[in-house]
Amino acid sequence: MNPLRSSVLSALLPPGVVVVGTRVGLPVLAMATLRLSSSSSFFAYQQQKVGLTAPQRPPSSFASTSPPPPLVVCSIPDRHHLPLSHSSAEASSGRISLGFCTRQSVGFCTRQQSWNRNLAVVAAAASVTEVGGGGSSSTISREEVVREDDPTNNVPDTVFGKIGLQLHNRKSHPLGILKNAIYSYFDETFPGVFHKVDNLLPIVSVKANFDDVLTPPDHVSRSYNDTYYVTADTVLRCHTSAHQAELLRQGLTHFLVTGDVYRRDAIDATHYPVFHQMEGLRVFTQQEWEAAGMDGTALAAQELKKTLEGLARHLFGDVQMRWVDTYFPFTDPSYELEIFFQGKWMEVLGCGVTEQQILCNNGCAGTTAWAFGLGLERLAMVLFDIPDIRLFWSNDSRFTSQFKSGQLGTKFKSFSKYPPCYKDISFWISDEFSENNLCEIVRGIAGDLVEEVVLIDEFTNPKKGKTSHCYRIAYRSMERSLTDDEINALQAEVRQQVESKLKITLR
Ligand code: PHE
């Protein structure tokens, strides 16, 4: 959310209510929360403005903030020298590292660069996920990613089970269809120019995910409440911007990176802990801006807008659009593109002119660039009329059979609406309570049978100084009717785990 709009909204809300930003990737929700820790805010707002407490090491896997690693700093050189070579798109291929499954390989970050081939899931959600392609495969063991005894790890089994599924690489899946439609636009507009990468491992270093894209040490996106940490130094990438620096270092100057990204978050029809993003980046040389008679930043900004307006028209037809100023740590100026679609303004993507320091740190001194990041689910839900984000993960043929490779915008026909079942849970919270932790517990127990978790009541007892929350959990399967016994068992387990793990007192 644009910080400006945030502050306007804040003025309309009761004291103590903080308006949080939205993440690029999912539909815009004007979210207000009483607690920053339960926000889904991410990069698009300035953390400084909301006064976070100092980061600290978590006492358990449900702790809320992360240690701030140092930032890489470089001096910004004169823009007028060192034009960048347009090196071959093949720069990143051919270096394949196997043996990923060994315990010693936990330093995933070192292998990330060389992990560049088709990943095909052979077994997911088991104790070992086998990934590989082209005749060889490798495995990531559950123990490497879900390490319950390590307080710096907060990856649950439900999330581990999604690694390697690569929905975006399925040609007849809405996300694959959308990815290919975006590829077509870039291929038609810039024939042979953009290199496409869609198989990078989602386990990346903290450095790649945050430091390399200049995320401030105390930025909320680094917190354990918002990001999945595998170790203190490795995370499940929370955005595809995690690959900007490495691809620049490999010499790529025009690229699109697509992949699954992971964020701890609320539960509702538009939020899921795993979703998909596409990142684009294009570098400009001094010759290019001189030939255009502009300065490098102005050319990048102009080209960015032209390119993305064209993309929006390619996907949505002749729509009304507007540019909204925003903030990202990695771009300046930064914008969100919104389109007027189906009667309302919808945020389509975040983008901007890449910070000089990123270019300079990664072998591209003397250039400028634009970058964008868009969420595939968010756009696919609108383009294909898909009402619930869980459907993207469904193997039910009543869902999968409705989409065909190359057919963007086929309207999804709901095949059932099984009745929901609502269960409430009330408790006195402690200072450490975070809604994301609650949601993770519910998701861990009920999986995709949970449709929504909503705070329906909240009050503070002034004498005791204690605050009570009541959440309504909606259970509903998209594929079958749930029995009372089944739901009661789930709810009993939720109550038990919430009480034992969240330091709350059930009412
Ligand atoms: N990484 C940003 C996000 O996930 C999106 C973005 C990418 C914005 C590139 C600007 C440039 O919110």
Q: What is the pLDDT of residues 258-295, one digit of tens each?
A: 999 999 999 999 999 999 999 999 999 999 999 999 99
Task: Supply 141's token pair.
Answer: 């063991």
Nearest CA-CA partner of 442 in 397, 492, 484: 492
Nearest CA to ligand 1 atom 10: 351
What is the pLDDT, as a whole number, of residue 416? 72
What is the pLDDT, as a whole number, of residue 127? 56
Question: Of the residues 43, 215, 377, which should be mutated to test ligand 1's pocket, given the most ligand atoms within 8 Å of the CB?
Answer: 43
Instruction: Calculate how far, in angstroms, residue 59's C-alpha sits from the geometric centre of ligand 1.
Output: 30
User: Which residue(s) pair with 347 in the sheet?
Assistant: 338
What is the pLDDT, as a whole number, of residue 121? 29
What is the pLDDT, as a whole number, of residue 85? 22
Q: Residue 479 half-sphere exposure, CB side, CA atoms within 13 Å?
A: 13
331 Cβ closer than 6 Å to some ligand 1 atom:
yes
3-state secondary structure 16-62: CCEECCCCCCCCCCCCEECCHHHCCCCCCCCHHHHCCCCCCCCCCCC
Report d(CA 146, CA 152) in Å as an integer: 11
42 Cβ closer than 6 Å to some ligand 1 atom:
yes
348 Cβ closer than 6 Å to some ligand 1 atom:
no
| Element (DSSP H or E) covering residue 500 | helix 484-501
What is the pLDDT, as a whole number, of residue 130? 52
371 Cβ closer than 6 Å to some ligand 1 atom:
yes
Evaluate whether 476 touches 490 at the Cβ level (below 8 Å): no
Written as one string, the DSSP assignment of 318-341 is S-EEEEEEEEETTEEEEEEEEEEE
Neighbours of 76 (CB within 10 A): 12
**Which parts of the chain sit beneath pLDDT 50?**
1-23, 25-41, 45-126, 132-136
Any idea which residue has 């634009």 for tokens? 370
| Element (DSSP H or E) covering residue 261 | strand 254-262
276 Cβ closer than 6 Å to some ligand 1 atom:
no
**Per-residue b/e over 15-32, b at no fewer than 16 CB within 10 Å?**
eeebbbbbbbbbbbeebe
What is the pLDDT, as a whole number, of residue 128? 59
Q: Which atom of ligand 1 is nearest to the CA of 334?
A: 10
Residue spans of alpha helices (H) in 126-267: 142-145, 157-160, 174-189, 206-209, 244-249
What is the pLDDT, as a whole number, of residue 423? 98
Question: Of the residues 212, 237, 243, 328, which should be mutated to test ligand 1's pocket, given the most ligand atoms within 8 Å of the CB?
Answer: 328
Instruction: Calculate how far, in angstroms, residue 8's C-alpha sits from the geometric centre of ligand 1.
Output: 23
Instruction: Calculate how far, in angstroms, residue 53's C-alpha sits from the geometric centre of ligand 1.
Output: 24
Burial class (CB in 10 A: 0-12, 13-18, 19+), 351: buried
Report d(CA 338, CA 474) in Å as an integer: 31
Any idea which residue has 């050189």 for tokens? 77
Nearest CA to ligand 1 atom 9: 372
Q: What is the pTM of this model?
A: 0.78
147 Cβ closer than 6 Å to some ligand 1 atom:
no
Task: Supply 218's token pair.
Answer: 């105390």
341 Cβ closer than 6 Å to some ligand 1 atom:
no
What is the pLDDT, as a whole number, of residue 138? 59
What is the pLDDT, as a whole number, of residue 212? 98
What is the pLDDT, as a whole number, of residue 43? 83
Nearest CA to ligand 1 atom 5: 373
Instruction: Calculate how far, in angstroms, residue 477's C-alpha sits from the geometric centre of ligand 1.
Output: 33
User: Which residue(s) pair with 260 in the sheet?
Assistant: 276
What is the pLDDT, as a whole number, of residue 52? 29
